[in-house]
Chains A and B, each alone.
Chain A
């Protein structure tokens, strides 16, 4: 019983109460900003890869603020499934345009979703344009978020696995 008490005092408790509260409050604007950068990838600089990296900083923030005992190891399976699902949906989007070529943009200049046509010149930027480019941006964004979070989580908890 003494060994259990020593183990409980030795585990990583994280930082103070102020940091834990603030990290909950600031998580919501970070998620909204990351989704904005991902979704407007065809209008402004950015896209799938920087947007996924922005959302992946949240897991590092929670690891530092809460300690490696609270962020459980069962999250590894969830992140791995999300990464595989996003990559499969990216490849599936490429297969849908197989009428002419692989990776053919089958939604541009048609009347479906994301299919408005624009002409050459400077304009203000309309959201429902782009064809398959916003959909591929979302898929790549989720894949980069899951992969980077998985790498950070595994290299932090190591082989012992943290708290279960």
Chain B
């Protein structure tokens, strides 16, 4: 049971992010929920490729030769940059919506063609 703690932390973060998306009425708080889900996916990717008796996969002055798996770390680096670009684009769209409609509430029923 104690071996599954990283995955339970990922589960708690996903539920927190999803409840922020479902229950909140302000557009900025929904975007914060999306960002929390993105960070939890990064944590899940890294904890998949973890060896408990391993060091970082770099050969310069390495203490020993048994290393953690390097492929999930490369995927996580790519995911961080893509999440940053996604949040920046969503925030600029919200700024344009606020400039046009003067309100950030999703119950407003004015956001139609």
Contact = CB atoms under 8 A, between A and B. Distances in A.
Asked if A and B form a direct contact in the complex, defined as CB atoms under 8 angstroms apart, the reply is yes
A90 to B, nearest CB: 14
Interface residues of A, number: 15
Contacts, number: 30
A40 to B, nearest CB: 9
A123 B60 contact: yes
Interface string A135-164: 000000000100000010011001100000
A125 B77 contact: no
Interface in A17-67: 43-45, 49
Nearest to A151: B88
Q: How large is the interface on B (under 10, 10 to 19, 20 to 34, 35 or more residues)?
A: 10 to 19
A153 B92 CA distance: 12
Given A45-B56, A155-B92, A155-B95, A122 B62 contact: yes
A43 B61 CA distance: 10
Given A155-B92, A155-B95, A49 B60 contact: no
Contacts of A124: 60-61
A126 to B, nearest CB: 10
Given A43-B60, A45-B56, A49-B77, A122 B65 contact: yes
A155 B88 CA distance: 9
A99 interface: no
A44 B60 CA distance: 7
A125 B58 CA distance: 10
Interface of B: 56, 58-62, 65, 77, 80-81, 88, 91-92, 95, 99
Interface of A: 43-45, 49, 121-125, 144, 151, 154-155, 158-159
8 contacts: A43-B58, A122-B60, A122-B61, A123-B59, A124-B60, A125-B61, A144-B81, A155-B88
